[in-house]
Structure 1
């Protein structure tokens, strides 16, 4: 008989819990949460009440707050913590992780200071492991509610990707492959910034035409920077590019969109973040995104306006006035 593959997910938030619940339908799965109450809720009641209300999780899913014990039995390790905590948690896992165990990232951000993508952080802390990511237009609550969705396992090793696909696939959650790790990862990180801009449009009530313009031009910005950093332009038309952008910019469940909407309604960034229990990655990433854009001489006017609101106290209304002042050029002049 084939030995079962033990999947271990690190992170007790909504998306990490959802991925763990999906994996548990296929193979033995354990999720580690830093908060003992969250771990106990998952293990004993098959719920993550703090982040997912009363949505049931797969009953075979185990929860723990003992990171060392969880990582030691991992055949596949999934990093589901926010990008700014990724280095710390990977470092805690390192002494307990067996050699050559594949590591998948769920994080969608860029590390402040180093400007590294999550898989680059993991590679620096956990060298010698096959590394990839699982990403796509995935809203945790919808997936647990039984709505169909799809994601991508991105890793340069096709055989590793083929082995990982069935661990997370279900009849309602389709998992594709993509060898373009750079493009797949950047699509997920950069769209969070555009989602804040889209939310501001809703908060300001500027209309669907304006919001569509911002989302579309935002995709052009994401693609420009993604290609400059080595991504395949085709990736940005797929699940981890356009797909993830659409879901994050349009859904009421999106944390980054919610940040923008509340900024558009007149709240300060401090007031918005004080009312949130989970991380909106775009808030932390936007300044780092602009640093990368400057290094590669890439124009990102929408990201610049988001940064001005988030980090410099500019109002959302003034930001949209700034976008109106942007001179129009050829629509495709800098996309590829």
Structure 2
């Protein structure tokens, strides 16, 4: 495999939500030809005609060189693909791509989550549905609107194959979108998935007006849970202390643009989950990932009390005040981040 970036001239972005549209803008700025696949034909039409995506990324002007399509096979003809569907739809999208996608097409996973039905990481889903394709993970602290507006951003591009990683970094990097190379894709995936669950927990604390001390403690102990799960899956702790772990966790638990944080705030203020979701078009991945991360942790013997508490509130009807009281009543322990009980 050559390290010449000239073999990545065209990039297909699969998924025209806010993050997919922002990544299309990034790759266009990097000088690539971009074809953005939208599930909704009206989204593709708006991008082609008006150079904007009012449904998912309003008030952001798009480069006229970004082409959009509702034809998945057409987008799959690019030299490399960025996969950006909601995590729970990745299997369906990759299954539809499989019959026409060339074996050597590099796949970059940009969806953050764990599959609810199977507990699989996104890379494990792709290994089943698109076997043999070279795979990398793009993750890090990113709000789509800021990326689309070309505000400075740093991310992790993680690939087991360092040559593939360098090709991708050189193909999509710009002065304001800085990819840092990693060879730990599992760590990048775990960080991107778990941070959404912790962000919901932070939002609940904000909604309950429990103070900044509690939020800081929760972020720190949430990071400990993230590290334990990552180590159990074979990730490195250093990865989870980087952009795709601590960096993404900090942003998602602090920025008002965070869909997961805002959902948690609404829950903490007493709004029913169904009402919150009914009023949203965009996906808060942590709602689904809370269940799958909790199940994965149980299977691996990893104690994740914060994730389990969020799952209980979201999916088991647990009372928020009683759940918080249960966390606060846990035994005092030594501070540690290694695998095992907290």
State TM-score, norm by structure 2. 0.95
Matches within 5 A, 1:47-126: 47-71=52-76, 73-126=77-130
- 1:256 touches 1:282 (CA, 8 Å); kept in 2? yes
Cα deviation 1:88-145 (Å, max 9, x = unaligned):
1101111121120100111111111211111111111111110111110011011223
Evaluate the alpha carbon distance shift between residue 3 and residue 194 of structure 1 in structure 2; reply closer, same or farther with a 3 A threshold: closer
The question of 1:177 aligning with 2:181 is answered yes
Cα deviation 1:158-194 (Å, max 9, x = unaligned):
1111111122212111011110011111100011110
The question of 1:35 aligning with 2:40 is answered yes
In the aligned structure 2, how far is the partner of 1:103 from the partner of 1:28? 16
In the aligned structure 1, how far is the partner of 2:321 from the partner of 2:174? 43
Matches within 5 A, 1:245-324: 245-324=249-328
Instruction: Tell me the equivalent position of 1:220.
Output: 224
- 2:195 touches 2:249 (CA, 8 Å); kept in 1? yes
Structure 1: gaps of 5 or more residues: none
Aligned to 1:49, what secondary structure does the other structure show?
Answer: coil
Matches within 5 A, 1:137-216: 137-216=141-220
Offset of residue 274 of structure 1:
1.0
Aligned to 2:98, what secondary structure does the other structure show?
Answer: helix
State TM-score, norm by structure 1. 0.96
Q: CA RMSD in A?
A: 1.5
In the aligned structure 2, how far is the partner of 1:312 from the partner of 1:261? 18
